Amino acid sequence: MTISQTRHDWSFDEITSLLDQPFNDLLFRAQSVHRAYFEPNRVQVSTLLSIKTGACPEDCGYCSQSAKHDTDLEQERLLPLEEVLEAARTARDQGATRFCMGAAWRNPTDRNLDRVVEMVEGVSNLGLETCVTLGMLTDRQTRRLAEAGLDYYNHNLDTSPEFYDRIITTRTYQDRLETLAHIRRAGIRLCSGGILGLGESRRDRASMLRQLANLPTHPESVPINLLVKIEGTPLFGTDDLDPFEFVRTIAVARILMPRSYVRLSAGRSDMSDELQALCFLAGANSMFYGERLLTTPNAESVGDARLFERLGLTFETIDAGEKTEPGSCSRQAV
């Protein structure tokens, strides 16, 4: 397959007709695109750590950390630097190349940001790529993170603009888009995707993908989460999504954003090995690895290792000083 220009002008109809294709046709096309841009059997691996847990003023209907929901979560203040670095060392020794730190804030205060900056510098000195997700940022805060050498900022659109206010009412879609623009302006790489299984329709999934694919530059990393249903959240008890819909959405993300890493994110612990294999076939080439996501358990590492062996997949590695080049096949397998 020839490598074509990436597009930023996808129409809603084009995207729904991709989602509507027969499953085999869609997967064949997604896998062909994937092979044109990436080593097909390599998966980038990130490890997550919640650096500040719970008591969040936002009301995201899926989230254990909202102060507005009555979940069993234990709140935690911002973790001490040494504890974060210890977790990062463990993640690195287990094969992660990126360490993602998440905080349950609507936005960080400048004082808190000073402490996150120390964490970013410390984790970076361990030879890991850094990612943080801290909520909304001002331009000045974003520049500060860029100066600290932050590699990625995670900020998800979560769902379509049409479905959004069924899930979150304390901030708007436009707020999310503006934070994404601040991050881009500061030259930080973007990690932005969404959650499936919120009760949205296929049209909503198409609309969310359209938002991501028509950004002026595609996010370098596109996490596709499957809702982790958490007791006490408004979305607990939502009907299960047809797993093939999840695979279809990954396949279409791969086709629309061919150079981006598509991450098979939250929800793997509820997926069979066979479903995860289909996600990799559809073009997912990144995942979270390690005991926990933010507040919930992740798929077990021993199971992941076994699955990788059975599928002949390998973890991506990074050479000292190298940074990820999306869709460039510049990395090596172990």
Using CB under 6 A, list all residues that contact ligand SF4.
Answer: 56, 58, 60, 63, 65-66, 104, 135
Partner in contact with 66, chosen from ligand SF4, ligand SAM, ligand DTB, none, beta carbon below 5 to 8 Å by kind: ligand SF4
Counting contacts by CB under 6 A, is residue 133 touching ligand DTB? yes
Q: Is 67 or 333 the residue whose CB approaches ligand DTB more closely?
A: 67
Tell me whether residue 329 is one of the annotated catalytic residues. Answer: no
Partner in contact with 227, chosen from ligand SAM, ligand SF4, ligand DTB, none, beta carbon below 5 to 8 Å by kind: ligand SAM
Burial 16-29 (b: 16+ CB within 10 A, else e): bebbebeeeebbeb
Tell me whether residue 63 is one of the annotated catalytic residues. Answer: yes
Counting contacts by CB under 6 A, is residue 227 touching ligand SAM? yes
Which of residues 129, 151, 158, 200 is near ligand SAM by CB under 6 A?
158
Q: Is 29 or 188 the residue whose CB approaches ligand DTB more closely?
A: 188
In whole angstroms, what is the distance from residue 34 CA to residue 19 CA?
Answer: 17
Which of residues 54, 61, 95, 102 is near ligand SAM by CB under 6 A?
102
The catalytic position among 29, 100, 176, 205 is 100
Let me know if 305 is exposed, middle or buried by CB neighbors in 10 A (0-12, 13-18, 19+): middle
* Size of the chain in residues: 334
| Distances in whole angstroms, Cα of residue 173 to Cα of each of 65, 167, 176, 333 | 20, 11, 5, 38
Among positions 232-261, residues that touch ligand SAM (CB under 6 A) are none
Q: Which residues, at least 6 apart from 211, have a Cβ–Cβ distance to it below 8 Å?
A: 157, 160, 161, 177
CA-based diameter of the chain, in Å?
52
Let me know if 165 is exposed, middle or buried by CB neighbors in 10 A (0-12, 13-18, 19+): exposed
Using CB under 6 A, which of the segments 93-101, 206-214, 221-229, 238-246 binds ligand SAM? 221-229
Q: Are 192 and 157 in contact, with CB atoms under 8 Å apart?
A: yes
Tell me whether residue 279 is one of the annotated catalytic residues. Answer: no
Counting contacts by CB under 6 A, is residue 265 touching ligand DTB? yes
Q: Is 102 or 326 the residue whose CB approaches ligand SAM more closely?
A: 102
Among positions 37-66, residues that touch ligand DTB (CB under 6 A) are 48, 64
Counting contacts by CB under 6 A, is residue 49 touching ligand SAM? no
In whole angstroms, what is the distance from residue 201 CA to residue 321 CA?
Answer: 43
Q: Which residues, at least 6 apart from 193, have a Cβ–Cβ distance to it below 8 Å?
A: 156, 157, 212, 219, 221, 222, 223, 224, 225, 253, 263, 265
Using CB under 6 A, which of the segments 29-37, 223-231, 253-261, 326-334 binds ligand SAM? 223-231
Number of H helices, E strands in the chain: 10, 11
Binding site for ligand SAM (CB under 6 A): 62-63, 102, 104-105, 133, 135, 155-156, 158, 195, 225, 227-228, 230, 266, 294
Report, as residue numbers or ranges, the catalytic residues.
56, 60, 63, 100, 131, 191, 263
